[in-house]
Amino acid sequence: MSKVTMGGKSAFKIQRRLGVELPGLGKAGALERRPYGPGVHGMKRKKLSDFTIRLMEKQKLRFHYGLREKQLVNLVSKSKKDRSRSWVDTLVINLESRLDNVVFRLNWAPSIAAARQMVTHGHIKINGKKCNIPSAMVSVEDIISITDKGAKSGNYLQAKARPRLSAVPAYLAIEADGEKEKGKIVSEPLPEDIPFPFEKRLVIEYYWKIK
């Protein structure tokens, strides 16, 4: 991942620019001292165009989940093929169902980027089998577990010492697994499970041309 989507000052700048804390970036407190955009003109009130407002709402998804624009567009296109619900609801459900996000939401990693690293390093299992694909989709009844090596990793220990989110979402359950934990997907994620303020309508309007 590029520095633009991960820790340090860049994560603070992203969140201040968008005016919202994005837990997936792993850096809390971006708006506490300077609740305005970065730069010398950050405190000035700006009249934003409709396009900019829609763009900023879309960017919340992209930066929180750590995706490239092409990845997000592909997910939008895939979601629009599902006629069972609003496509933006399907999009959010698919984003929340990604393995890297689930590891983060279980409070096993301090950020989604860190969760992605844990997955690619082979620290995470789905139903007892190692999975090193961060974008793998987890399903209801799937069991997510962490290897012994993963439970000793700096990312896991940091997340357990200082959880980025105070609680796991309702679609996840955690239980003891010896000295470790294991998580279970107990229901399908809902759009309401997204951990930051989000206006679906603006994303629908931004991506209306995508088929």
CB distance 12 to 30 below 8 Å: yes
Q: What is the mean pLDDT of residues 45-57?
A: 89
The CATH code that applies to domain 98-188 is: 3.10.290.10
Residue 137 is inside which H or E element, if any?
A: none
What is the per-residue pLDDT for 104?
98
**Average pLDDT of the residues in 114-143:** 98
pLDDT for res 177? 85
The mean pLDDT value of the chain amounts to: 90
For residue 202, CA distances in Å to 1, 91, 146, 173, 199 come to: 26, 14, 37, 32, 6
Question: Mean per-residue pLDDT for 61-66?
Answer: 96
Mean pLDDT value of segment 2-13: 58
Highest mean pLDDT among 7-11, 29-33, 176-180, 197-201: 197-201
Mean pLDDT of 66-81: 96
Percent of the chain clearing pLDDT 70 (strictly above): 89
| 42 has pLDDT over 70 | no
Predicted confidence at residue 44, as pLDDT, reads 52
- What is the average per-residue pLDDT within 67-75? 96
Mean pLDDT of 195-209: 96
Domain boundaries, the chain: 3-85+197-206, 98-188
Section 172-199 average pLDDT: 93
Q: Top-level CATH class of 3-85+197-206? A: mainly alpha
Rounded CA-CA distance 27/25 in Å is: 6
pLDDT at residue 178 in the model:
85
Q: What is the arithmetic mean of pLDDT over 35-43?
A: 49
pLDDT of 85 above 90? yes
- Taking the model in full, what pTM does it have? 0.89
Instruction: Please report, for residues 31, 117, 138, 211, the alpha-carbon distance to residue 41 in angstroms, rounded to integers and kept in the order given.
Output: 16, 36, 43, 38
Does 3 score more than 80 pLDDT?
no
Predicted confidence (pLDDT) at residue 37 exceeds the cutoff of 60:
no
